Chains A and B, each alone.
Chain A
C-alpha cells in the first residue's frame, strides 16, 4: 500500500488516481433562487419552475429531477407544457420562446433545448406588435397561439416555430365580426388571456386587457360570441364542461359568463367582489373547480382590500361556506391546482393547491378537512432563516436515525397525510449507500437536521435553542391569531421567516456525535449548549456555567453585545435534543471553534479571546486559556461578530443587487440572433474584466507580525489520544490553533469510568508551537503509527474503526491557511511541509480528511485531505506525504459566501451554497456519487387528443454521469453560477468593500 502513496508519474499511481478521484457537480438541493415562473403537466405529473437567471427545473416524484439553463440567463416569464407530450415551451423576458424536450439520448434521457424562436413583426412595426403576453399550446400539439401586446394573435407551427401568417387573428378581423358600436380598436389592445374550449378544440376564448372577451371559432375564423366586462381583465378560466367561464379583474372582482351559440352580447351571470365593498387589489388568476357535491371550489390569487391588506400575498379558496385566504410570507409567483385529469371524469375534484412563492413552495391538501399543508419532499427552503453554519455527519447508525425521525414526526403532526401529489416519473437511482445528515445552523437559533443521503434534501427534525434564553420577543405574541369571525379569513402558511428576534441567538458551530447522540451547538453570543437525545418531552433545569476567557487580563472593556439572559427554573423541552448544559463565554464574543469528545465527556470551545474546556459529566469548567496578544485591542473592544456580520450583510446585499441587475438586464438584443448575443456578452464580460483589472486597487506587502489583529482568535480545536509528553505513554490531549499561527497542546487527565464522577479532569499545558509564517491555523490532526488519522471518539468502541496504532510513532499535521506541516511526536520536529500560498498564491479555506474508495475494487481505500482554497479550487492532498493529487475548479473565486459555506463529507462529497436557498452537491469520489436518475413514463398518444394509454416509453435521465457526459454537466453547472454572478461591476464594489476591512 505504501507503494501506492508514492508521488510522481508512477503509472500505477496515476491509474489508481483515476479509480479514486473524479469531480462532478451532481445535484442542486433546496429552493431555486428567485423563481419567476411555474408550469405543470397533468399528463406527465411534472412541475416546472423557471428562475430569473434562466434556469428551468422539472420535478416529479421524489428523486425525479431535471434541470436546464437558457443560455441567455434571462428571466423565465412563462412555462407551458405541450399537452400530452414530453415537451414544454418557455417564454423569456427577451421575448424569445424556447422548446424543451425530455428526450432519450444514448440510453438516457435528458432535458434538452430543441429550438428557440423570437417573433418578428413586419419591418418598422413597434416592438409591442410582437411582444408576447399570452401563450396557448393547442391540444392538437401542432400549433402555438401567441397573444401579443398589439392585440394580434400569431399562430406558429410546432416544433419548427414557423409562423402561419394566414392564420393570424388580428384585432381588425375580430372587430369586424363584432356588431358592437362601443367596441373600438382600443378594446383589442393587449391579449391578456388565451384559453382553449375544454370540449371543442376549434374554439378559443380570447381575453383582451380592456375587458373584451371573444369566443373565437378557429375553423371558420369568426367570433361565436363576445362578452364585455366593465373592469380591466386579468385572467380567464373555463368551467370543465365548457358551458361557462369565469373572468377575474383588476378591481378585485370576478365574473361568471354563460356561453350560448347565439351571437348576442352576453350579460354576466354573476359579478362578485369577494373582499369588497372597499377598493380591492386585482385578482390576477382564478380557478373554478367542480365537485360531485355541486359546490365548486373558487380559488384565486389576490383580491385583498387595498387599504388594510393590500400588502398581503394571498391565495383564497372558497368552497361553499368555507373560505380561507392563505397568507404567504413572500410574493406569490404563480399557482396551479391538481385535479382529475381524466377527460372522461365529470367533475374536476381538486385535490391539491400548489403555490410557488418567491421563497418557498407550499402545497395545500384540499381534500382533508381544514385544508392542511402537505410536507414537500424536496424544494425545501433552506433559508427560512438565514443559514449561519453547516455540519455534515456521514453514515448515521440506524438507531439514531430512527430516533431523530421520530422526534421530527412529532413536530410534523399539523401536516397533511396526503401522499405527495406531484408524482410523475420514477426514481430509479439505487438506494443511497448510507444515511447521511446535514445539519444547518440558522440565524434564529435553530438547527435543522436534513436527510442528505439522496437526491432529495428532506427536513427530518428542527431543533430550537431559543427556549433556553429570555429574549425580547414574547413567544406567545402571534400576530396571526385571529378570531373565528375575522375578515378576511387569513391563515399564515409556509415556513419562510427571515426575521430573527435576536441576532445573538445565531448558531455558529455544531458538533454531533453519531454514536452517543450528544450534540454541541455554539452561537453568536458565546453560548455553548450540550444536548442529549430524549425520546420524550421533559422539563428540567439547564446547568449553567460561565467561562471567563480574559482571566486576569485587566483593564479591557467589551463593547459588544451583552450575553444572553437565561431562563430561571425548569424549562419544558419537546422530544428530541434537549440541552442539559449551557456554558457562556465571557466576554460573550462569537464562538469560533468547538469540539466535543463524547467518550471523555468533554466539550472545548474557543472565541476571539481564548478557549476553554468543560467537563459535561461533572458539569465543571476544567480550564480556560486566554490567547489574546496584549496589543490586540480590536479583539477586546468590539465583537468580532459585528465586524464580520456587517461585512457579510454587505456581501449579501451586493449579491442581491447583482442578481437583480442580472435579471433586470431585459430585452437586450431582442431581435438579434443567439450568437450575436453571445458575442456581445463575451465582449461585455471582457470589458468589465479589463476595467476591473485596471482599477487603481493596491495591496500592501508586509510580513505578518505578532501584533496583527485577531491573532488570538481560536480557529480550531481537536481532541486526540496521543503521545504528547513522552513516547512510552499516550494520554488524552486537547489541541488549539489560533489566527496568529500558534498551536497549544494540553495534556488531559481523564479519570477512569468507575471514578469519573469522583475525580476531577485535569489539564496541563504541554506544548506551544509558533508557526513562523504566522498564518491562521485551520486544521490540526494526529496520524497514528500507520499514518492513519486517529478515529473519532467511540468509533472504535462501536467496532466501526480499527483501533489506532499506538506502537509506531505518531505524527502531528498542522494545516494553516498557507502551509501543511507534519511534525513528529512527542518531540516536535519538523518532518514535511507543503507550501501552498508561497507557490500558488492561494489560501486554505476548508480542509477535511476524506476517505476515498476505488471504483474498481472494494478492497482499496485511502485517506486524503480535501482542501478548498480561496480561489474556489478543490485540491486533494495525500496523507501522510502531502503530495498534491489532483485539482478541480469548483466555485468562482468571487463567490465569497459560496466558498465560506462549503462543507466536505467524510467520503469525498461536499455541499456549498450557490444562493441563500440552494446547496450545490458535488462529489470528488468515483465511488460515492449521489445524483438524480429517473424514468418518465410517457403514455402513448393516439390520434384522439384526450385518450391516453398507459404503456410507457422509458426515459432514463441522469443529470450527470461519470465520463464524457459529466463534462457537459460541469459546463452547465458553471453556467448556472455564472448566471448568478456575472455582474462584474458589483463584484468590484464588493472587492472594494472587502478591502476596507483588509
Chain B
C-alpha cells in the first residue's frame, strides 16, 4: 500500500506526532509498526525517535520514501547500512570493504530504543587524513576495549620534518566496542580527545581524559592506514589542503571543541539515564541539557562569557525557587535526577 502526503519541511514536529500521523494516514491506529526510510545512499534506516526522524526529513530530496512494517512480522535484518544497495549491487562500502565479504551476515536486532554505537563525525571540517570517531558507550555492556601507548610520529614543522612524541592505539580487545566499529585500528595516532588536543600531554593524562569521557568518547585519529579515507566532494575541498595537524589554523580546534562539547552534553543527558543500577532509569529530558551544556560552554568560552547566559539564570532561579513550594511535584526540566525513596540517581 502506498500513501503520499506532504509535511512542512521546516517544522517536522516530533516523532510521536509523525507516528500518529502515519497511523492516521494508514488508518491503523492500534497497530504497532516499525518505520523506516531510505537515505541518500540507499540504506534502509529506522525512524523511531525525534533525532532520526528529523534526520530523515532533512534528507528528503524532495521525496522521502518511508517504509512501514507491522512490528510482529518485521524483518529486522532489512535495516542497516547497505541493505538497499546490496540488492541493487551498486556501491561498495568505502569504510568497511570486507565486512560483508568475509563474515557471515550479522543480523542486526532492533532494540526498543535504537541507538548508534559509533560514528564518524565532522568529516567536512577535518583534513582528509584525519578521522573523528565517536564511540557511544552507553546502553551497551561491551567494553570500550582498546589500549593506547606512547610513540613518535613525524610532523611538518617550521623547522622541517621533526620527530615528535605522540599517542597511538596499541591494541584492540576482540569483541570490544572499538574493534566492532571498525573505525579504529592499531597504530592509529590519537590527536584529540573530545576536542582537546593531546599533544604535550602524557600517556597517563590522555588515559585519564579518555576514561573521564568514556561515556561519550570522541577521538580524532590519524589512521595508520590512509587508504580508506573518506573521499570528499567538492564542497569541502577548501580545507582538504590542510593535510597535517601542524598546519591547521590554531582556531580550528577550538571551534571544533566547542561544537563537540555541545553535542556531548546532549549525549550526556542520554547517558544519565543509564546508570547501570538496578533502579529504573529516567528518560532523557532535553530541558535538563541547558544547565549541562551551559557549564560546558562556559568552560571553553571563559574568556568571552560573563557568568551564565540569561536563560540559565532564569532556569536556576526557577529551580531554586521551586524548592520550597513544590518539593513533591516532579519538575519536568529536572529529570536528570530522580528520587526514588532515599536513592537518587543522576
Contact = CB atoms under 8 A, between A and B. Distances in A.
A180 to B, nearest CB: 68
Contact of A704 (B170, B171, B211): B211
Given A727-B323, A824-B323, A828-B337, A772 B346 contact: yes
A809 interface: yes
Given A702-B211, A830-B291, A835-B299, A726 B344 contact: no
B201 A10 contact: no
Interface stretch (A90-98, A558-566, A614-622, A688-696): A688-696
- Chain B CB within 10 Å — which of A8, A9, A765 has the most? A8
A843 B194 CA distance: 17
Contacts of A765: 342
Contacts of B299: 834-835, 839
B337 A830 contact: yes
Nearest to B195: A839
B211 A6 contact: no
Contact of B209 (A819, A827, A837): A837
A830 B336 contact: yes
B85 interface: no
A6 to B, nearest CB: 5
Nearest to B205: A841
B148 A830 contact: no
A701 B144 contact: yes
Given A7-B306, A842-B208, A703 B275 contact: no
B149 A698 contact: yes
A835 B260 CA distance: 15
Contact of B320 (A766, A809, A841, A884): A809
Given A829-B319, A837-B212, A8 B144 contact: no
Interface size class, chain B: 35 or more
A728 B327 CA distance: 11
Interface in A870-889: 870-871, 881-884
A494 B47 CA distance: 81
Interface string A811-852: 000000011000010111111111101111111000000000
A374 B287 CA distance: 71
B229 to A, nearest CB: 24
A769 B346 contact: yes
A6 B304 CA distance: 12
Interface centre among A7, A726, A818, A827 (most CB of B within 10 A): A827
Contacts of A645: none
Given A7-B307, A706-B276, A701 B214 contact: yes
B206 A694 contact: no
B115 to A, nearest CB: 16
A699 B306 contact: no
Given A834-B295, A835-B299, A871-B205, A829 B334 contact: yes
A871 B205 CA distance: 9
A834 B297 CA distance: 11
B307 A828 contact: no
A826 B205 contact: no
A826 B208 CA distance: 32
Interface in B150-182: 150-152, 165, 170-171, 178
A307 interface: no
Contact of A827 (B303, B323, B346): B323
With a 10 A CB-CB cut-off, give which of B206, B211, B215 has the most chain A CB atoms: B211
Contact of A726 (B193, B210, B327, B343): B327
B204 interface: yes
B345 A770 contact: yes
B117 to A, nearest CB: 14
Contacts of A701: 144, 146-148, 178, 207, 210-211, 214, 217
A768 interface: yes
Given A693-B165, A769-B346, A835-B212, A699 B149 contact: yes
A702 B151 contact: no
A699 B203 contact: yes
Contacts, number: 166
B181 to A, nearest CB: 14
B137 interface: yes
B20 interface: no
B147 A809 contact: no
Contacts of B98: none
A727 B326 CA distance: 11
Nearest to A838: B212
A829 B276 contact: no
Contacts of B304: 8
B145 interface: yes
B137 A703 contact: yes
B303 A9 contact: yes
A341 B125 CA distance: 80
A835 B296 CA distance: 8
A473 to B, nearest CB: 41
Contacts of B336: 829-830
A773 interface: yes
B289 to A, nearest CB: 11
Q: Is the interface of B mostly helix, strand, loop or mixed?
A: mixed
Q: Which of B151, B212, B323 has the most CB of A within 10 A?
A: B212
Contacts of B152: 693-694
A934 to B, nearest CB: 41
Contacts of B95: none
A699 B207 contact: yes
A606 to B, nearest CB: 19
Contacts of B291: 830-832
B335 to A, nearest CB: 10
Given A699-B149, A838-B213, A833 B342 contact: no
A839 B297 CA distance: 12
Contacts of B346: 769-772, 830
A698 B327 contact: no
A775 B150 contact: no
Contacts of A6: 306-307
Given A703-B214, A830-B336, A841-B208, A767 B344 contact: yes
A205 to B, nearest CB: 58
B212 A775 contact: yes
B59 to A, nearest CB: 33
B277 interface: yes
Contacts of B151: 694
A833 B277 CA distance: 23
A950 interface: no
Given A770-B275, A770-B346, A838 B316 contact: no
Given A838-B212, A883-B302, A772 B205 contact: no
A699 B148 contact: yes
Contacts of A706: 276-277
A830 B316 CA distance: 10
Contact of A697 (B150, B271, B316): B150
Contact of B170 (A698, A768, A826, A840): A698
A15 interface: no
A818 B212 contact: yes
A700 interface: yes
Interface string A838-868: 1111110000000000000000000000000
Nearest to A884: B302
Contacts of A818: 208, 212
22 contacts: A7-B306, A8-B302, A690-B165, A697-B149, A698-B171, A699-B149, A699-B203, A700-B147, A703-B214, A704-B211, A727-B327, A772-B271, A773-B215, A829-B319, A829-B336, A833-B295, A837-B209, A840-B209, A841-B196, A842-B205, A843-B208, A883-B302
The 3 closest A-B pairs by CB, nearest first: A841-B205, A703-B214, A837-B212
